A = this chain, B = another copy of it.
Amino acid sequence: MTATKSTNITWHEPLVTQADRDLRNGYKGVVLWFTGLPSSGKSTLAHQTEKKLFDRGCNAYVLDGDNIRHRLNRDLSFTPDDRAENIRRIGEVANLFSDAGIIVITAFISPYRADRAQARALNEPGRFFEVYCKCSLQTCEARDPKGLYRQARKGEITAFTGISAPYEEPENPELVVETDKQSLDECAAKILRFLEARDVIPACS
């Protein structure tokens, strides 16, 4: 943690706490941190999970490239420093959402263990779950819906994760979903069962 540059600021206790929100909502504000190779299905699965949680009465919200890379972090490129700053900010925003009582799902490659560990460290134990969207490079490359792997192989995109930049697999993720072996629905259902088991959401009656 680097020191803040913001001086002249004091810290206030809120009148409404995360625990107050959890109690009233009937589920917990947590971070589901998806990580995986490009085209491993993170964003699609994130939106499917958000929908299933919404249909169960929970407020869930996806942070992904669509609303973050185009907006909040549009000043950042894909250099190592900017990738780290990208994940730092996403970690902070995810923490705010969970503090507000929301089940926030972040869907970013987040290739480096150190960056993911930093995002985790912002949260109390039991509030952050790393979900590894596991999918073979071969399958990701075969899917390649945006043609990015093809461009990366041609050298038209540099520092592309999985091809010309590293992806550090999670060593101890709370959950692994194998998006090349299970359907979208099965993966989302697995995540919901996981959240029930961890008492984040109530079990289906």
Q: Which residues of A contact B (CB under 8 A)?
A: 2-6, 8-12, 14-16, 20-21, 24, 43, 47-48, 50-51, 54, 59-67, 69-78, 82, 85, 89, 92-93, 95-97, 99-102, 122, 146, 148, 157
Complex Cα spacing A20 to B122, Å: 30
A9 touches B70 (CB 8 A): yes
Query: What are the residues of chain B within 8 A of A101 when measuring CB–CB?
Result: 59
B54 touches A4 (CB 8 A): no
Give how many copies assemble into the complex. 2
B54 touches A96 (CB 8 A): no
A146 touches B93 (CB 8 A): no
Whose C-beta in chain B lies nearest to the C-beta of A16? B54
Q: Closest Cβ of chain B: how far from A37's Cβ, in Å?
A: 14
Complex Cα spacing A65 to B6, Å: 9
A100 touches B51 (CB 8 A): no
Query: What are the residues of chain B within 8 A of A78 when measuring CB–CB?
Result: 6
- A-B pairs, 8 with minimum CB distance: A4-B74, A6-B69, A72-B92, A15-B51, A61-B100, A5-B77, A9-B65, A16-B54
Complex Cα spacing A85 to B11, Å: 22
